[in-house]
Structures are given as C-alpha cells and as structure tokens.
C-alpha cells in the first residue's frame, strides 16, 4: 500500500484531544510511500533516567500501525483496535525526535499485521515493533 499526503492529512485530523496530540506525534510519508510518524524525545516521553521511555516508543508504534489500518478500512462501517504489540528496544535515545516507519506485513479481512521500525535523528535503529490490529464492525 502506498500512502499519500492525503492520507497524512486524514491521520493528522485524528490527533485532537488524544494521547497522539499530547505526545506531539506527527504523521508523514517517506519516499517509498510508507506511512511514518515522529515523536519528540523530551519531558513528555522520558523515563526517569532521561532516556526515551519504552512505553512511549510502544505508543508511537501502536499509533502508527493503528492509524495505518484505519486508513485502509471504511471507517463508517469498521474500526481498528490493537490486539498485540511487541517492541524490541535496541538503542537508547536521549534527545531529538524519533521516527517510526510502518510496513504492512498482512492485510486480512479481520486482522492487519505491521512491522514498525523506529530510528533516531541520526538514522540509527532504536526499536523494532510488531503490531497486530483487529478489524471490527461498528455497532
């Protein structure tokens, strides 16, 4: 699936009043058309040792994959909910912004699986995440 600036605009419109807005998660698309999201490494996302909190990294990854799934379904009839997330934290990040890039691994009728890689501003890999979303019918 190739994402466009129109997808980014829709993703950005979902931020207001959510954890996404609080953490200043911003959406974009890379040159290959993959959906991306970035987040600051600051007092909102630090753990007590002054490093990017693993839970904040997981929130970034889940946000990106969930929004990615939302952009692939008919939101008037369906919704997406996270079913499982794993995160392998590989490198500490102390400042700047981290950027997550999502790749759709599986797009089934009721589940989507995303591979999400998080890099620091120097392009160093800091985390690898896997997210499984369930696609449900709206009541």
CATH number for the domain spanning 27: value is 3.10.129.10
Residues with a known catalytic role: 62
Task: Give the H/E segment covering residue 41.
Answer: none
**Which residues form the domain of 124?**
5-137
Band (pLDDT 50/70/90 cuts) for residue 139 is: confident
Residue 111 buriedness (CB in 10 A; 0-12 / 13-18 / 19+): middle
**pLDDT given for residue 126 in this prediction:** 98
Q: How many domains does the chain have?
A: 1
**pLDDT given for residue 5 in this prediction:** 93
Indicate the pTM of the whole model: 0.95
Residue-wise pLDDT for 11-38, tens only, equals 999 999 999 999 999 999 999 999 999 9
Q: What is the largest CA-CA distance in the chain?
A: 45
């Amino acid at each position: 699936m190739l994402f466009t600036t129109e997808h980014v605009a829709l993703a950005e419109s979902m931020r207001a009043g959510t954890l996404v807005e609080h953490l200043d998660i911003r959406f974009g698309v890379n040159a290959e058309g993959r959906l991306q999201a970035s987040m600051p490494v600051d007092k909102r996302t630090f753990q007590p040792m002054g490093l990017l909190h693993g839970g904040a990294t997981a929130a970034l990854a889940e946000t990106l994959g969930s929004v990615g799934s939302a952009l692939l379904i008919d939101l008037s009839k369906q919704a997406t909910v996270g079913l499982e997330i794993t995160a392998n934290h590989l490198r500490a990040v102390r400042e700047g912004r981290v950027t997550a890039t999502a790749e759709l691994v599986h797009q089934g009728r009721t589940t989507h699986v995303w591979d999400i890689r998080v890099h620091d501003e120097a392009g160093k890999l800091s985390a690898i995440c896997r997210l499984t979303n369930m696609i449900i019918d709206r009541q």
